C-alpha cells in the first residue's frame, strides 16, 4: 500500500511512517521544510517537499498519483495563532481532500481532535476557539466529499511509549489522553479496514488491543 502522509515530519506522522515501512507499506511524507527530509527518510518513507499553505489542489493531486490512501496528520501546532489554525488545520485538510478526489484516491484518514464537532465553549481562549472551529470545518468538508473517509479525534496527545491499549468509539468518549504512538498504530490499522469508512471516532488510552478495537468498529 502506498500511503501519502500530509505533515510528514509531525510527531504522529513519523511514528506512522515507521510502522508502515516496518509492515512493508510505502509511506510518502509531505513536508514543507526540506531540512526535515532526512528524518522522514530515516523512518523508511519517501520525503516530498510540499507546502500545504501554498500548493494548489492540482499540484497536490499530481503528488498523490499512484497512492492507495491519504492520511492528514498536519497541524499548525502549538505557538501558532488563529490565522494558521485556519490555513493549516482547515485549509490544508480541505486541500488534501480535494486533491484526493481529483486523483481518485478514495481512502482518506484525517486526524482531528476531541472537542471538534461542536462550537467552542463561550469564553474559550481565542486561539483555542480558532483551532476547534478549524478542525470542525475540516471534518465537515471531508464528510461532504465522495471519499472513503475516516475521522479520528484523539484526546490529549502524549509522547509516552505505545501501550497498544486504547478506547476507540463513536462520540462521545470521556476525555482522556493517548500516546502519539498509539494514535499512529490506530491509523495504520484503520487503513487496513475499509469498513471503518464514513465513521467519526474518538480515541483515548483504554483497555482494548488496537487491532480488536479497530475491527470492532467496522
Ligand atoms: N496536541 C494535542 O494534544 C492534540 C490532540 C488531538 C489532536 N491533535 C492533532 O493531531 C495532529 C498531529 O499532531 P502531532 O503532535 O503529530 O503534530 P505536529 O508534531 O505538530 O506535526 C504537525 C506537522 O504539520 C506540519 N505542517 C504545518 N504546516 C504545514 C504546511 N503548510 N505544509 C506542510 N506541512 C505542514 C508541520 O511541519 P513544520 O515542522 O514545518 O511546521 C509538522 O511537521 C494535529 O493535527 C493536531 O492538531 C493534537
Residue 3 pLDDT level (bands cut at 50, 70, 90)? very high
Pocket of ligand 1 (CB under 6 A): 7, 9-13, 30, 32-33, 51-53, 73-77, 88-89, 92, 111, 113, 154, 156-157, 180
Residue 201 pLDDT level (bands cut at 50, 70, 90)? very high
How confident is the model over 64-104, as pLDDT tens digits?
Answer: 999 999 999 999 999 999 999 999 999 999 999 999 999 99
What percent of the chain clears pLDDT 70, i.e. is strictly above it?
A: 100
Q: Which residues are catalytic?
A: 131
Average pLDDT over residues 41-58: 98
Q: Ligand 1 atom 18: the closest Cα is on which residue?
A: 10
Higher pLDDT, 175 or 192: 175
3-state secondary structure the chain: CEEEEECCCCHHHHHHHHHHHHCCCEEEEEECCHHHHHHHHHCCCEEEECCCCCCCHHHHHHHHCCCCEEEECCCCCCCCCHHHHHHHHHHHHHHHHHHHHHHCCCEEEEECCEEEECCCCCCCCHHHHHHHHHHHHHHHHHHCCCCEEEEEEECEEECCCCCCEEEEECCCCCCCEEEHHHHHHHHHHHHCCHHHCCEEEEEEECCEEHHHHHHHHC
| 76 Cα nearest atom in ligand 1 | 27
pLDDT at 121: 87
The pTM (predicted TM-score) of the whole model is: 0.98
Distance (angstroms) between ligand 1 centre and the Cα of 194 equals 25
Average pLDDT over residues 158-169: 98
Check whether 5 has a pLDDT greater than 90: yes
CA torsion through residues 21, 177, 141, 93, sign? negative
Mean residue pLDDT across the chain: 97
pLDDT at 22: 98
Check whether 218 has a pLDDT greater than 90: no
Amino acid at each position: 500500500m502506498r500511503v501519502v502522509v500530509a505533515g510528514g515530519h509531525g510527531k504522529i506522522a513519523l511514528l506512522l511512517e515507521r510502522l508502515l515501512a516496518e509492515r512493508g507499506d510505502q509511506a510518502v511524507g509531505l513536508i514543507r521544510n526540506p531540512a526535515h527530509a532526512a528524518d522522514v527518510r530515516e523512518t523508511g518513507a519517501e520525503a516530498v517537499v510540499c507546502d500545504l499553505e501554498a500548493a494548489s489542489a492540482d499540484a497536490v493531486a499530481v503528488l498523490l498519483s499512484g497512492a492507495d490512501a491519504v492520511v492528514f496528520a498536519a497541524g499548525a501546532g502549538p505557538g501558532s495563532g488563529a490565522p494558521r489554525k485556519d490555513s493549516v488545520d482547515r485549509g490544508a485538510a480541505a486541500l488534501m481532500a480535494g486533491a484526493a478526489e481529483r486523483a481518485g484516491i478514495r481512502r482518506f484518514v484525517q486526524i482531528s481532535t476531541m472537542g471538534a464537532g461542536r462550537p467552542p465553549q463561550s469564553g474559550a481562549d481565542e486561539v483555542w476557539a480558532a483551532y476547534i472551529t478549524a478542525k470542525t470545518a475540516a471534518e465537515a468538508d471531508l464528510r461532504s466529499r465522495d471519499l472513503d473517509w475516516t475521522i479520528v479525534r484523539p484526546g490529549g496527545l502524549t509522547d509516552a511509549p505505545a501501550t497498544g491499549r486504547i478506547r476507540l468509539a463513536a462520540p462521545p468518549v470521556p476525555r482522556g489522553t493517548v500516546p502519539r504512538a498509539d494514535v499512529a498504530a490506530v491509523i495504520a490499522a484503520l487503513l487496513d479496514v475499509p469498513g471503518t469508512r464514513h465513521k467519526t471516532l474518538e480515541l483515548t488510552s483504554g483497555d482494548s488491543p488496537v487491532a480488536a478495537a479497530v475491527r470492532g468498529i467496522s
